[in-house]
Structure 1
Amino acid sequence: MTTQTTSAATVRPEFPRPDWQRADWHNLNGAWAFRFDPQDEGSGASWQVSPTAAFDREIMVPFSWASPLSGIGENTAGIGWYRRTVDWQPKQRDSRLFLRFGAVDYTAEAWVNGVFAGVHHGGYGTFEFEVTDAWQSGGVNTIVVKAEDRDRDFQTRGKQGYGEIRGIWQPVWLEARPRTFVRDAKFTTSLDGTIHVKARIEALEAGAGTLSFDFAQGDVMHEAQVTLEAGLNEIDTTFQVSSPKLWSPENPHLYEGELRFDAAGGADVVQTYFGIREIGSAHFGERGYRWITLNGKPVYLNGTLDQSYHATGYFTYPSDEEMRDEIYLMKRLGLNFVRIHIKPEEPRKLYWADKLGILVMEDMPCFWGAPDEEARGGYEREALEVIERDWNHPSIFSWVMFNETWGLKTEGASGGLTGDAAQASSYRPEAQEWVRSMYHWAKRLDPTRLVEDNSPCNWDHVETDLNTWHFYINGYEQLRGHVEEVVAKAVPGSAHNFIGGNVQTDAPLMNSECGNVWGIEGGAGDSDLAWHYRYMMNEFRRHDKLCGFVFTEFRDVTNEFNGYYRLDGTEKEFGYEAFVPGMTVADLHAPDFVVIDAPPCQTIAAGERATVTLLRSSFSDRYHGQTLTVAWELAYDSLGTRTTVASGTLSAAWEGYGVELLGELAVIMPAEDAVAVLAIKLVDGDGQIVTRNFTTFDVRGDLASRADGDGLFLQLPVGGFGGQTFAHQWQAVGGAKTTGAGAGRFAYDITLPGQDELELIGELAIAFEAAACRPLARHIEGAKFADHGISMMHGASAQVEYNPNTYYMTDETRHESRVHVLVDGERIGSFVLPDDPADSRGVLSWHYQAKPNRLDEAGSYGYLIQAKVPGRLAAKLDARRSFKLELEAEDGGLSLYGRNAGRYPIDLLIRCR
């Protein structure tokens, strides 16, 4: 038997359920002896009782045996046995003792000292076994667990493809309770401070007792006298909180304290909490549709899809601090809600959502086979466990019963139909009616929250509190048209987005999955999301009817790289601060927002007039009744010099919720080639910035119109080199960008103006935009498309470096290079290129993409390099009027950006004067 050396105090030492915590408990996390049982021999050989059974490995609980942190790291379906010896006794000798499991996938059987404790089926539900009679006082006790996970079609597996949750994957602990104890209590709160509690008390014998509540350090107290029968007793009681403080993401106030039951057999004390809030939907004004409400007011849901996946623990976080930090990372983005995808969340992470303030949409885990009787029965059992466990979390505002009809379709149901019709018909009417019944079941069980029948990507709602839909579309015009169509069709009585003859009600319209990760041919790979994200936010906020979105996703995962953060939590750079000082992605999530109703970039002639429509979108009453100021500025960068073309202010009467026209701005473009930026700031009466936004213009002028002094300007396309020495070299962005990987040089033959144009060359300077080159496998070996079958939804490799759309978004990882500028073989300057970046700053690389659904180094850009030719060299060129320009890169490679690529609207620029 493997020696167990790891202390439980070092592995998830905190109590697993801060929403329901007793003081007398013992953590069983840490090292257990372990053994695989591929032939299912253990039960027949009595491994549960045999002291000589060879448990030949050590596993670190509570991590799935497939995960690296378990110490096993083998994705083996089947049976695993666990054994642990424990020397622990409850503080009170007559206590009842329970062996508790956060979750085990999928079937768990447990024994204590050879005595069978119980069996549980289901991969996500919490469960417990009473082991009072089997526990030996004053000695060492042996716990054995058999876990079986065979990936059967009926199992509630959810989306485990990123990393399987095999065996024990949430904490395990022992918990002592008195002979009569409170099994659970559900708090239902009202805005007036009325708190209704439905408690279940389990008693070994009949008797009487006192159920008491003490919260907020004694400010909220209540007692109820209770008479009990032997067995399980249901108790209803109500108390009042004076001057209630409401829970919201902005003010996540919790009433923390204890619930206590005193009886002849002793006192059961549970540390718990509740938050006072109400969730619903309502009409406002003359609108014929509802908005989602929190505490009786509209709330705009800025949300993200959270796969809750960790690189080393998979669906089990290594520490409580990491779960807490997940919520911090969301809130610093300005998000106020999260959708936990195809799984219920760990209770401790839900606690941090309660404590720090973020709303949660929690999914039920799906099965992947047909909706037969066995699958439905297992699903219903587990859904009950999830809702019962998580009832008291104020952060949870919605239950999602199914996702994208996963597990709801039956093979061979096409009835001779083909294509989309066959796909739709496989979601049979009987399955639709079962989904309807589950919607009504959840509403009866928990009428305090919104319930969604199925979060759809196939327009197949049946009956729901939320009219949601999914889309993954890239390209401004395509996305704009799609959203407008959905909004136009979202009317009561419409069959759009519903199936089986069902129609829409006035339920709130909301997006529940969006992003460009799958909206691109072959998948987006690992590419910039900042450009797409900004115009998508503007399109959403244009529509009064829309009340939220779910962006895919919070972090990158193994086959999707559309996260705000990398999988390891490192940051991506969106680049918005380069357009509006101080702007971050959080500005796009402000409840009070200025919509710029315009494309992300427009091509326009130098000196032309442009008109931009501004809208106000308000889902907060903070500034209602006030006049805010919209401060605007049109500016551009001219070879490193920032030039303001025009600026001004616009008064904005901030009255009421929803979307209204603010007005139009008319601006005159600069007189030269430029990437002009119209920057917007919404400012309150105290001068504080409420939100920021911007749009851009590709201004087309000519060299003669440049505003930075006299002289002549020559431009040479970056692809116009006469020779190059790189091992790998290619063009991108329609030929406007040229790149060499590794060390090498580009050589250009430059012809200067003749004496008839410029009598004397007094000064000669060179300017260009350049970045390092981080070569990918597709550049060296060729691109490969990955199959977009269901395996991708299970986490199959996206072959990101082979994906033709991949060009890494700017993040904390840097790829540096150095470029030397040579004139006729003499080095006139050396410059460090800090990175090979791609984000919203690559305006021209985005604007000149040939296809919206296939990316060509989209968003990539460089750094402005300016080198002055020494006077002694310029003098030599005066007579000859030509020279060889060489741009030489060290090992980090070199990318050169021309007029229609990158950040600056220039090719290789030669200035003579």
Structure 2
Amino acid sequence: MAAQALQTTTAALPRPEYPRPDWQRQDWLSLNGSWSFRLLTDRDESGSTQPEGGFDSEITVPFSWASPLSGIGRSETGIGWYKREVSWSPEAAGSLVFLRFGAVDYNCDVWINGTHAGSHSGGYGSFEFDVTSAWKLNEANTIVVKAEDFDLKSQTRGKQGYGESRGIWQPVWLEARPQTFVQSAKFITKLDGTVQANTTVTAGVSGDAQLRFAFGGGAVSHTVNVKLAEGENSISALFQVADPQLWSPETPYLYEGEIQLTSGDGTDSVAAYFGIREVGTALFGDRKYRWITLNGKPVYLNGTLDQAYHETGYFTYPTDESMRDEIYLAKRLGLDFIRIHIKPEDPRKLYWADKLGLMVMEDMPCFWGNPDETARPAYEREAKEIIDRDFNHPSIFSWIMFNETWGLRTDAETIALTSQDAAKAEATYLPETQEWVRSMYRWAKSVDPTRIVEDNSPCNYDKVESDINTWHFYINGYEEVRAHVTDVVEKTYPGSSFNCIGDNVQTDAPLMNSECGNVWGFSNGAGDSDLAWHYRYMLNEFRRHDKMCGFVFTELRDVTNEFNGYYRLDGREKFFGYDGFVPGMTIADLHAPDFIVIDAPPCQTVQAGASVSVPLLASSFSDRYHGRQLQLGWELWHDNLGTRVTTERGTVALDWNGYGVTPIAEPLAFSVPKQDAVAVLALTLRAGDGTVVTRNFVTFDVRSGEGVPVYDADGRFIAVPVTAFAEQTFAYQWNAIQEGKANGGKAGRFVYDIQLPDAGEQAIVSHVELAFEASSKRLLARNLEGARDRDHTISMMHGADAAVEYNSNTYYMTDNELHESLIHVLVDGEKVASFLLPDNPADSRGVLSYQYQEVQNKLDEAGSYGYLCKVALPSSVTAKLDRSRGFKLALEAGEGGLALYGRNAGRYPIDIVVNVK
């Protein structure tokens, strides 16, 4: 079947595109789609070639039988039997027929027309079988696949708990090749344009052949004449690219083209590509520590942990577009890399990372049992398959061999068998296992010297030998994060035993974080909460240290039991609220290679009118503006009961020279407002042409110290605490944030007794204006039934249900899903105003809800805030109040509920404020 005709027949198939854009032949047939299927949950030792009882259902390949998209949706372990009838013949007579599998979990056997074609073991590696001898041309062929997955402790299973990769879970296809063909080619590139192509050719017979490399629209045209021996041949070709265009996230240039092998068996053409780039580490200046480099220059790695998990396909992306969009989701945040977690990535997603420009750290999948004589060889076999398959992706800059010592500890029971004191035995990372890990690191360096290799991405300070020195932490709270990061930096130097196990010590390897965030930084973590506040001060702390050169934030999307993603699991956007402080600011400003560090807490409580100074630092990991002068504009502003007021502003000229972190000579000095306010110091760094380089901000909780808050407005202010209601009628009511916030669930009202100044204090009441901060109130399971906190054990890594709505820290961060509530304002029973409250938000704009958290690792509706509601009472109502000098204020909500924010909660430093004139 010709490739052109194939497009029309496969258009409706799932994942119809060729699975390997980096290594593609034209004569092929997708076998994705409907297969006959049967799942048997018991082991089968009979050696049968068909399932007992026959096939009883249909499954959609390439989706795991556990996933919804498979049409099966059963998570049990077992043996999956697949059958497909196929009639297909290669275009060229005499061609070989290969049956190819993207991945099958875990043990796989294949029969063609009853003849055993081959076996494969491993859950993530790609593999193929030459089925030519069993394949019948121009008539129906029966393919039977047996996939056995019993979650053995020795399996390279990875982090599958979110959704199991059972059976066939990557594309399956047939492919034709001539008898003599190119098996593989690995491109090693240099910045000067030198390219070495280490090629493997499989020859049906010995003889002369011509190997041609044509790439980049004529930029590469190189031919090698070779003599082939029957069987496998290794050929190293060296060629030069004139005026090489380098690959980087900013300029992801790919040399696309083909490798063509011409022999007596015909011509084999393979479409392929490579990118010219070099990854390394280097010393700069008089530093005793290295930085990571891309193309010879320092690069600051702004990255995220990518679990690569989806609701419907689990670890199989539903479409090619969804993989492309995943790369866009990361890039639009200003990130320059992703860490694919505990698994290799789908080749098509790696293609989009190559094409669109996003660097990739790729993990090897771990096993969960003991590192014994069964698990180690299985791991080694799979690691080789992964590195061989993904070698040519320029986006991949690092291999991580192990994660958090998973699978590297020998359990207590095994140790007890050889221990003199079995009662004291515990799971241990044994010295012999450490040496095996070292050998794996060195092996990876030997087979791929072009990339950074890490032995173990650690959370237990147990590194052995590595190109980079990384660590994990999950801590919430500014002071705690600052102290922790500073401690790690100070303990990092050549010869230090910190972050190492046994007798191993640090080298001058670059320091970066390889997992961070606050999702596990809460007591009984995993609950959904705002991350915007934490994220900004954490990034400032990272950029404060010249020694640090990157981080990995957990994570790109929420998953089933971790709700710390930049996006929801379904891709919905979360709103960080930074533009509420600096116009135009997004999270991407925190990822700018040229950055202004604010060396101060995210919020400080200060006295009204106080003089304040804020230290700043310049952090540069790009030479784009070196040798130029940048302009740092700053503005101190606050909101005065709905009116934005700027009290001070200025500009500082900065000579932007050199990489790294340097103090800006003079701290910014200013006086905060002389009233109660949330004051904001907003910074914008601009190039000479006005281009914004980066933005940042810091806040101040300004307090007048008076019994009644002070605002810049005429009239007499009366402040009524939101929790001082005389009555309430909600089915669910509680106060939060140290009595700074009042919550009412479902429909109901809060009623307040308001006392106005008597005639002796104010002869005439001519005008009354009300102001308060309010939001709707979404009720969570913990609000309705009580919190049910759970210890976050290793079971969470296997997908255990976190029951997030029962978690005491849970409070949904602002996203696309709105929860509205209509409220009415009544004065002595007369409705004077109504407000549609759009949502129940929580993000960085809830400054005061963070500033008054009592315990940093057990959050109480952190980041929550409302909308400023102002009501000028009608003159007819005011006339009555002039006589009564008091009234009942009722704030009445429908089913959407009501939350009221007082002086020490939310976004605005106000209680229920009554302004009387």
Q: TM-score range by the shorter chain?
A: over 0.9
Corresponding residue number in structure 1 for 2:77: 77
Corresponding residue number in structure 2 for 1:87: 87
- TM-score, normalised relative to structure 1: 0.98
Corresponding residue number in structure 1 for 2:821: 817
Corresponding residue number in structure 1 for 2:482: 480
Cα deviation, 1:715-744, whole Å, max 9, x if unaligned, reads 010000010000010000001000100000
How far did 1:871 drift? 1.2
2:608 paired residue among 596, 606, 609: 606
Question: Following the alignment from structure 1 to structure 2, what is the Cα–Cα distance between the partners of residues 639 and 42?
Answer: 76
1:863 paired residue among 862, 867, 877: 867
Question: Following the alignment from structure 1 to structure 2, what is the Cα–Cα distance between the partners of residues 589 and 45?
Answer: 57
Determine if contact 2:709/2:719 at 8 Å carries over to the other structure: no
Q: Report the residue type matching 1:454 in the other structure.
A: N
Q: How does 1:48-59 map to 2 (within 5 A)?
A: 54-59=54-59
Flag the 1:205–1:487 CA change in 2: closer, same or farther, 3 A. same
Cα deviation, 1:265-286, whole Å, max 9, x if unaligned, reads 1000000000000000000000
Flag the 1:705–1:837 CA change in 2: closer, same or farther, 3 A. closer
Determine if contact 1:111/1:118 at 8 Å carries over to the other structure: yes
Question: Following the alignment from structure 2 to structure 1, what is the Cα–Cα distance between the partners of residues 487 and 89?
Answer: 65
Q: Report the residue type matching 1:392 in the other structure.
A: N
Q: Report the residue type matching 2:489 in the other structure.
A: V
Corresponding residue number in structure 2 for 1:36: 39
How far did 1:416 drift? 9.0
Q: How does 1:434-583 map to 2 (within 5 A)?
A: 434-583=436-585
Determine if contact 1:368/1:406 at 8 Å carries over to the other structure: yes
Specify every segment of 5 or more residues in structure 1 that has no aligned partner in the other structure, as ranges.
1-5
Flag the 1:9–1:839 CA change in 2: closer, same or farther, 3 A. same
How far did 1:706 drift? 3.9
SS of residue paired to 1:10 = coil
**Is residue 688 of structure 2 the alignment partner of residue 685 of structure 1?**
yes
How far did 1:356 drift? 0.3
Corresponding residue number in structure 2 for 1:23: 26
Flag the 1:825–1:91 CA change in 2: closer, same or farther, 3 A. same
1:636 paired residue among 635, 638, 646: 638
Q: How does 1:285-324 map to 2 (within 5 A)?
A: 285-324=285-324
Question: Following the alignment from structure 1 to structure 2, what is the Cα–Cα distance between the partners of residues 492 and 128?
Answer: 46
SS of residue paired to 2:805 = coil
Q: Report the residue type matching 2:823 in the other structure.
A: V
Determine if contact 2:708/2:719 at 8 Å carries over to the other structure: no
Number of corresponding residues: 903
How far did 1:417 drift? 9.8
Question: Following the alignment from structure 2 to structure 1, what is the Cα–Cα distance between the partners of residues 886 and 14?
Answer: 71
Corresponding residue number in structure 2 for 1:716: 720
Determine if contact 2:10/2:30 at 8 Å carries over to the other structure: no
Q: How does 1:840-851 map to 2 (within 5 A)?
A: 840-851=844-855
Question: Following the alignment from structure 2 to structure 1, what is the Cα–Cα distance between the partners of residues 531 and 743?
Answer: 22
Flag the 1:506–1:739 CA change in 2: closer, same or farther, 3 A. same
Corresponding residue number in structure 1 for 2:588: 586
Larger mean Cα displacement after TM superposition, 113-122 or 35-44? 35-44
Cα deviation, 1:176-227, whole Å, max 9, x if unaligned, reads 0001000000000000000001100001111110000111112211000110
SS of residue paired to 2:173 = strand
Corresponding residue number in structure 1 for 2:5: none
Determine if contact 2:181/2:201 at 8 Å carries over to the other structure: yes
Q: Report the residue type matching 1:881 in the other structure.
A: R
Corresponding residue number in structure 1 for 2:435: 433
SS of residue paired to 2:162 = coil
**Is residue 905 of structure 2 the alignment partner of residue 909 of structure 1?**
no
Cα deviation, 1:408-430, whole Å, max 9, x if unaligned, reads 001124869999x976x700101
Corresponding residue number in structure 1 for 2:112: 112
Determine if contact 1:8/1:27 at 8 Å carries over to the other structure: no
Question: Following the alignment from structure 1 to structure 2, what is the Cα–Cα distance between the partners of residues 875 and 80?
Answer: 81
Corresponding residue number in structure 2 for 1:886: 890
How far did 1:135 drift? 0.5
Determine if contact 2:709/2:910 at 8 Å carries over to the other structure: no
Q: How does 1:217-296 map to 2 (within 5 A)?
A: 217-296=217-296
Corresponding residue number in structure 2 for 1:745: 749
Determine if contact 1:704/1:712 at 8 Å carries over to the other structure: no
Question: Following the alignment from structure 1 to structure 2, what is the Cα–Cα distance between the partners of residues 534 and 204?
Answer: 61
Question: Following the alignment from structure 1 to structure 2, what is the Cα–Cα distance between the partners of residues 530 and 751?
Answer: 39
How far did 1:11 drift? 0.9
Percent identity of paired positions between Structure 1 and Structure 2: 65
Question: Following the alignment from structure 1 to structure 2, what is the Cα–Cα distance between the partners of residues 707 and 728?
Answer: 33
TM-align CA RMSD: 1.5
Corresponding residue number in structure 2 for 1:379: 379
Q: Report the residue type matching 2:580 in the other structure.
A: A
Corresponding residue number in structure 2 for 1:670: 673
Q: Report the residue type matching 2:293 in the other structure.
A: T
Flag the 1:304–1:752 CA change in 2: closer, same or farther, 3 A. same
SS of residue paired to 2:788 = coil
Corresponding residue number in structure 1 for 2:6: none
Cα deviation, 1:273-300, whole Å, max 9, x if unaligned, reads 0000000000000000000000000000
Corresponding residue number in structure 2 for 1:3: none
Question: Following the alignment from structure 2 to structure 1, what is the Cα–Cα distance between the partners of residues 871 and 389?
Answer: 66
How far did 1:704 drift? 7.1
Q: Report the residue type matching 1:26 in the other structure.
A: L
Determine if contact 1:7/1:30 at 8 Å carries over to the other structure: no
Flag the 1:769–1:455 CA change in 2: closer, same or farther, 3 A. same
Q: Report the residue type matching 1:97 in the other structure.
A: V
Flag the 1:224–1:790 CA change in 2: closer, same or farther, 3 A. same
Corresponding residue number in structure 1 for 2:211: 211
Q: How does 1:168-183 map to 2 (within 5 A)?
A: 168-183=168-183
SS of residue paired to 1:76 = coil
Q: Report the residue type matching 1:516 in the other structure.
A: N
Corresponding residue number in structure 2 for 1:754: 758
